[in-house]
Amino acid sequence: MTIKTFSEYFNRLKKMRKNVYIDGKLVDRTDDRLKPGQNVIRVTYDCANDSNFEDVCTTKSHLTGEKINRFCHIHQSKEDLLVKQKMTRLLCYRTGGCIQRCMGIDAMNALSVVTYEMDEALGTDYYERFEEYLRYFQEEDLCANCAQTDVKGDRLKRPHEQDDPDLYLRVVESRDDGIIVRGAKVHNTIAPYADEIIVLPTRFMTNKDQDYAVAFAIPADYEGVKLVVRPAIHHKRIKLHAPIVEFGDAESFTIFDDVFVPKKRIFMNANGDARETPYAGFLALLFAHYHRHSYTGCKPAISEILASASALVAEYNGIESTKHVRRKLSHLIGTSELVYAAGESSALHGERSASGTYIPDEILTNAGRRLAGEEIYNEYKILADLAGGLAATLPYEEDFISKETGDFLNKYIKRNPKISSENVHRCFRMIENLLVSDLAGVNQVAGLHGGGSPQMETITMMSRYDLEPLKDIAKYLAGINKELNRYERPPVTPRKMLEKFRDYNKIKR
């Protein structure tokens, strides 16, 4: 059976080499501070094994025909894109935020397309290697981190121009059996409790950046890899146990200290062939694209979680039916719907790439992800607005238990006589977690930057959108052109992306 359980996954983690550092110490993957992140991953295993969710969380492998976890699947249809989006939304409700596991499968889908394109154009055999890896990935129901973002040094300089050449991860040595890489990748969510790390390039590369145009996958505890980890977790509860505090995040600053990668795990730049360099940008872009499409699933859920908490606290505060509260809730809901709609529409306008993998529309995906990013801080503002100051001034749980102050606090926290003090307390304690905590800050930043900030989506949209045919509308209406042919904004999926990519890199087919 290729669908694994959480305990199978966790048993794998237990066996891994110790290479996780937190707060100056080398720790086990069973460290308590990693548990909240692992609990997020648990939901992805549990739901695949839950008959209520199996329609969205599992599917059939196009490789083996086996039933697999959808987090291991290469999208074979528009429907697959739609269901992935839906799964993401539904699971996020259960974790109160980011489901984390999407990055692995987003990386795999991007690799499926680009390795195929390379093979076709250059006669390489990356797609075969990729399929072999995918088979293993699906069979073991693996959980992968995608390590994309380089530390980037001086942002005005390209990789090869940096004072320190290691500021982008690079191939330092090419051998018959593989390559040796050096560098660091940052913002690696999930890495300390992932099975695998999939390394992708972070940007377009010029000819001079050839050493930096590299992609591969390795086990997360591989020789030479160090994960310096910052967990973001909630205060434990004493009595008021609640799911919200069981979930958290851990971000890795991942160091590659001259790591050897064997041939079969390399998906780009295995042999130092300069013709592969331009594909780095294409791969970078395509991972970002899949990842942004995943955001059209999770971000709506996050808006809805914030709306849900807002509605609940508005009810408890007795202001649920006032006009301004309705308007603000409706804004949260509207944003959620619009972002989700963008993802669905994007799937609907998706297209099949040469490899068979489906790719969603780029304009729509970016428009959706951008709106989510633009709104994230405003959404927190709405929750803070409706909750009032108490979320930020709530005494600690111990004070609610203490003999000397507990009764007072429970008496004075009471609002609607029909709602128990405990429930009011639970509600505000949760909102405290959502608004006033390390994790709240991380979630805000992630909501803005994860998958690329609104700034990046604007750039992507505008580099793909063809303004010339659009201008034809104005030229026709102004009488500059005599005719207006039937104009439709074309889907911006593989064909268009590839064309632009080839044009840009002057690649002939």
Residues 68-87 that bind its own copies (CB under 8 A): 86
3-class secondary structure, 239: coil
Q: Rounded to whole angstroms, what are the CA distances from 264 to 189, 223, 277, 375?
A: 25, 17, 19, 43
Q: Is the dihedral of CA 229, 230, 235, 240 positive or negative?
A: negative
* Cα dihedral 364→63→48→368 (10° resolution): -10
**Per-residue binder mask for its own copies (CB under 8 A), 12-51, x = binder:** ---------xxxxxx-------------------------
Regarding 505 and contact with its own copies (CB under 8 A), the answer is: no
Regarding 186 and contact with its own copies (CB under 8 A), the answer is: yes
Regarding 109 and contact with its own copies (CB under 8 A), the answer is: no
Binding residue for its own copies (CB under 8 A) from 27, 74, 198, 305? 305
**Per-residue binder mask for its own copies (CB under 8 A), 390-429, x = binder:** xxxxxxx-xx-xx-xx--xx-xxxxxxx-----x--xx-x
Binding residue for its own copies (CB under 8 A) from 177, 488, 503, 509? 488
Which residue type is seen at 407? Answer: D
- Beta strands across the sheet bearing 25-27: 25-27, 20-22, 225-232, 249-262, 178-189, 170-175
Binding residue for its own copies (CB under 8 A) from 17, 175, 208, 471? 471
Q: What CA–CA distance (Å, rounded) separates 59 from 28?
A: 33
Q: Which residues contact 453 (CB under 8 A, 6 or more apart)?
A: 373
Q: Would you say 234 and 283 are in contact if contact means Cβ atoms under 8 Å apart? A: no
3-class secondary structure, 360: coil
Binding residue for its own copies (CB under 8 A) from 444, 490, 495, 502? 444
Least distance in angstroms from the C-beta of 162 to its own copies: 9
Question: Segment 126-185, which members bind its own copies (CB under 8 A)?
Answer: 149, 151-156, 163-164, 166-167, 183-184
Least distance in angstroms from the C-beta of 123 to its own copies: 36
Question: Which of these ranges, 65-73, 112-120, 202-210, 371-379, lies near its own copies under the rule CB under 8 A?
Answer: 371-379
* β-pair partners for 146: 198
Binding residue for its own copies (CB under 8 A) from 319, 356, 495, 505? 319
Regarding 67 and contact with its own copies (CB under 8 A), the answer is: no
Nearest to 232 by CA among 247, 242, 222, 217: 247
Question: Segment 269-298, which members bind its own copies (CB under 8 A)?
Answer: none
Binding residue for its own copies (CB under 8 A) from 2, 5, 458, 505? 458
Least distance in angstroms from the C-beta of 150 to its own copies: 9
Which residue type is seen at 148? Answer: Q
Number of Cβ within a 10 Å radius of residue 152: 14
Question: Which of these ranges, 8-16, 140-148, 207-215, 324-332, lies near its own copies under the rule CB under 8 A?
Answer: 324-332
Q: Is the dihedral of CA 74, 101, 448, 79 positive or negative?
A: positive
Q: What CA–CA distance (Å, rounded) separates 55 from 79?
A: 12
Choose between 86 and 495: whose C-beta lies nearer to its own copies. 86
Regarding 473 and contact with its own copies (CB under 8 A), the answer is: yes
Regarding 437 and contact with its own copies (CB under 8 A), the answer is: yes
**Per-residue binder mask for its own copies (CB under 8 A), 235-274, x = binder:** -----xxxxx------xxx-x-x-----------------
Q: Given its phi and psi angles, is residue 194 left (phi above 0), alpha (psi -120 to 50 degrees) or beta?
A: beta
Q: What CA–CA distance (Å, rounded) separates 499 from 501?
A: 5
Between β-strands 20-22 and 225-232, what pairing exists: parallel, antiparallel or unpaired? parallel
3-class secondary structure, 34: helix
Question: Which of these ranges, 112-120, 200-208, 285-293, 385-393, lies near its own copies under the rule CB under 8 A?
Answer: 385-393
Backbone angles phi, psi at 466, to 5 degrees: -95, 105
Regarding 309 and contact with its own copies (CB under 8 A), the answer is: yes
- Write the DSSP symbol of residue 97: S
Number of shown-chain residues binding its own copies (CB under 8 A): 156
Regarding 341 and contact with its own copies (CB under 8 A), the answer is: yes
Binding residue for its own copies (CB under 8 A) from 125, 354, 455, 499? 455
